[in-house]
Chains A and B, each alone.
Chain A
Amino acid sequence: MKDQTLQIRTSPHLKRPLATNTIMLHVVLSLIPVMAFAVYAFGITALFLISTTTIACVGTEYVLNGKVKGKQNIKDWSAVLTGVLLALTLPPGFPLWMAFVGGMIAIALGKFVFGGLGQNLFNPALVGRAMLQAAFPVAITTWTETLVNGRFSHIIPSSLTIPFLEPIKADAVSGATPLSAFKFDKISTDVQDLAFGFTSGSLGETCAFLIVLGGVYLGFRKMLNWRIPVGILGTVATLTGILFYLDPVKYPSPLMMLFSGGLMLGAVYMATDMVSSPLSTIGIWIYSFVIGLLVVLIRIWGGLPEGVMYAILFGNALAPILDKSIPHRIYGMSSKNQNKNRA
């Protein structure tokens, strides 16, 4: 036997077979049903939108993190995930060029300026979406009906708006989202329609059922911290349940709250981004509760119909503070020394 062929490694010599790129890939895969449904509901436009943001994200990552920073990490799938998630937060008829800009912003501002994967304070997809909302407030609140005829052969006209030229044509627009319908007109939407996606909204806001399914899969594979969706949805359900019990006319039902808007997508796929959520379990619970609370506050008393995005961004900002300020018990430390053990 030859010694030269022996490999020296430091322990441990065993490794759990679960790598970061696998996790990211599985998150993307678990979104395939949601994407497929979006294409079914909104037609080929949805497909174009998803491709656009994904290409924008991956391309930006490739250029910025790869070429500029010199640390190519395209293979970790995180840019693809950001692209897909961003698309799912956009309305179906959203102009593609704006979506492309959004994808670039998501990676550049959401990730690159912080130092790349793992260092970003906020969920990059939400950063992209927030910027788009600020820059194009009209386009991002222009909704289309689901299941329109000819959706597989025709692109929604507003998608092809030429950059910086035309404002969105008003006639392409229809359909208020269930949340705005309730907020401004007190119209409730059938929960069944909400859960199965036959309402207007962003690409991924529609079919709550499929999102839950993806989340359950990831939860079982330990690729997602189940405490976050459970914490957020639990908080929202409890708080709105109390309000609904007090005054069912003034306040929407908890079920409608749970299944409408971006809450499901946000709770299952956005808030659970590992990088921008707290590390410790106690931190996770506080984080989830705060996001749930903010969602309810914004939706019911705020000026906007939807508040999931801001709630999660706020939660992201809170995460490092939670990590720093929650003391955690270290084995074998006297209580006197415990307070030095900040994460």
Chain B
Amino acid sequence: MNFFKYKAGTFNHGIHPPEMKDDTKGLPIRQFPFSPMIVLPLAQHIGAPSEPVVKEGDVVARGQLVAKANGYMSVPLHAPVSGKVKKIDYVPSISGKKNMGIYIESFPSSSQEVIEGHAIDLANASPGEILSGIQQAGIVGLGGAAFPTHVKLSIPEGKTCKYLIINGVECEPYLTTDHRVMLEQHEDIFMGLRYLIKALNPQKVYIGIEDNKRDAFEKLEQYKPLDLAVEMVLLPVKYPQGAEKMLVTAITGLEVPSGKLPIEVGAVVINVATTAEIGRLLPHGRGIQERVITITGPGIAKKGNYLITIGTPLRFILEQVSGENIKEVFMGGPMMGVSVSNLDIPITKGTSGIVAFKPQQSLENQSEYACIRCGACLDACPLSLNPSQLGILAKNEAYDLMASDHHLLDCFECGSCSYVCPSNIPLVQYFRVSKSIVRKRQAKAKS
């Protein structure tokens, strides 16, 4: 083993779930067929939903702006296909919340040529122009959080960006999206990096990659432009290393204070696929229309890494890849992904993977036992919280105590504690519910 090759440290605790990436990690990214109907939710990012600028019956060309950003904490939407706006109506969403969205009937025979907007010239653009270019391109974190990237890149006053960390960790089992992007899109990644460096002017730039993607690590190392001061960091495999805070700690050794963002310690973390998207879109002034998604799991016959149009309904996708005997399908990885109940929901900018399980993989029949105080959850929690105690308090509905004395609100629902618990206690589920109750109470207390 090349144990001594790891230059970085690590974070405390964490787990080692089975990686399950072998089925798709060797498969090159392929273009997915266009769906006859595209469903574009106006809220596919964190922040204010976009505002439609088209109306029913309008003909839109691929890449045309169809909804503009509603304020700073928002991004615009572009037509992912050429077609006709069928209606602007409620769209099904994964959370069950009612959201508005734009339905576009795609023209099957059109050339699907892309409309381009205002290009951002790397050499002459100011940091502010780059940020607004990123916003105009509709770019959000593609790792799953879908947080508007330009907001993340705006350094609050009084802070400076010391470390720019490109996140190529992809610690979720099954997913190979970022892996393939790193193998196939190194030019875009380094171009994106140039924009990011220009916008942030960081002191150090890192690309962090886990050891199970050594080929990607070597590829980027090999193609790294000589004039770009980037340090490639090979990290030992451990979940949840891809979580921002954990990655900052693994690479810089600094701890992000509780309740704060990585910029508190001078770090900005950007997903590697997001970086590639910036490098691809900004020089042409395009908007984001498609993304790479790993479609995998035992319930999928044609597993692979596909370039899929944003807004493609899940039902269409599963038909194309011959999903069969599916008991459970979720968007994202198996550790933090969300189960889908309605196949009409479309994929969005934040969808990094679609994993389908057959009944054999389903966990529904596990019986729950009492907490036997085995301590496994304590040894798993990357934040060193006490999930055992939190779980007991949640059962007793002592939510305020959980927040005040046991740091409930720091929990980022990584699922490590539930994963290891031998008594099958749904710890994360408790914490999710408890957090939302505490948040509601706090909001009430404020108003």
Chain A residues in the interface with B (C-beta under 8 A): 1, 3, 5-16, 18-23, 73, 75-76, 116-119, 225, 274-275, 277-281, 284, 328-334, 337, 340-343
Check B123 for interface membership: any CB of A closer than 8 A. Answer: no
* Contact status A9-B339, CB under 8 Å: yes
A331 with B388, Cβ < 8 A, contacts A20-B422, A118-B372 known: no
* Contact status B315-A9, CB under 8 Å: no
* Contact status B415-A11, CB under 8 Å: yes
* Contact status A10-B334, CB under 8 Å: no
* Contact status B258-A337, CB under 8 Å: yes
A1 with B255, Cβ < 8 A, contacts A11-B415, A12-B334, A14-B419 known: no
**Which of A20, A331, A340, A343 is close to B386, meaning CB atoms less than 8 Å apart?**
A343
Best-surrounded residue of B18, B318, B323, B363 (most CB of chain A within 10 A): B363
User: Once the chains are docked, how many angstroms separate the CA of A9 from the CA of B405?
Assistant: 29
* Contact status B383-A332, CB under 8 Å: yes
Grouping DSSP codes into helix (H, G, I), strand (E, B) and loop, the B interface class, with mixed when no group exceeds half, is: loop
Query: 8 Å CB contacts to A: which residues of B215-264?
Result: 245, 249, 255-260
Best-surrounded residue of A275, A279, A334 (most CB of chain B within 10 A): A279
User: Once the chains are docked, how many angstroms separate the CA of A279 from the CA of B173?
Assistant: 28
* Contact status B330-A330, CB under 8 Å: no
Chain B residue contacts of A76, Cβ below 8 A: 369
Chain B residue contacts of A5, Cβ below 8 A: 326-327
Number of B residues with CB within 8 Å of any CB on chain A: 74
**Which of B343, B378, B386 is close to A1, meaning CB atoms less than 8 Å apart?**
B343
A20 with B372, Cβ < 8 A, contacts A331-B255, A343-B389 known: yes
- By beta carbon, the residue of chain B nearest A18 is B422
**Which of A1, A19, A279, A334 is close to B375, meaning CB atoms less than 8 Å apart?**
A279
A332 with B369, Cβ < 8 A, contacts A1-B315, A280-B375 known: no
Chain A residue contacts of B70, Cβ below 8 A: none
Chain A residue contacts of B415, Cβ below 8 A: 11-12
User: Once the chains are docked, how many angstroms separate the CA of A343 from the CA of B369?
Assistant: 21
Check B113 for interface membership: any CB of A closer than 8 A. Answer: no
**Which of A1, A8, A23, A116 is close to B341, meaning CB atoms less than 8 Å apart?**
A8
Over the window 390-428 of chain B, the binary record of Cβ atoms lying under 8 Å from chain A Cβ atoms (1 yes, 0 no) is 000000000000000111001001010011101110101
Check B436 for interface membership: any CB of A closer than 8 A. Answer: no
User: Once the chains are docked, how many angstroms separate the CA of A22 from the CA of B421?
Assistant: 12
- By beta carbon, the residue of chain A nearest B371 is A118
User: Once the chains are docked, how many angstroms separate the CA of A3 from the CA of B389?
Assistant: 37
Chain B residue contacts of A116, Cβ below 8 A: 370
* Contact status B410-A7, CB under 8 Å: no
Chain A residue contacts of B204, Cβ below 8 A: none
Over the window 356-394 of chain B, the binary record of Cβ atoms lying under 8 Å from chain A Cβ atoms (1 yes, 0 no) is 010001111011011111110011001111101100000
- 21 A-B pairs in the complex with CB atoms less than 8 angstroms apart: A6-B339, A9-B362, A9-B364, A10-B339, A11-B336, A12-B415, A13-B339, A15-B418, A18-B420, A75-B367, A118-B423, A225-B375, A275-B372, A280-B375, A281-B379, A328-B386, A329-B384, A331-B12, A331-B245, A331-B384, A332-B410
Check B122 for interface membership: any CB of A closer than 8 A. Answer: no
A19 with B424, Cβ < 8 A, contacts A118-B370, A275-B372, A332-B260 known: yes
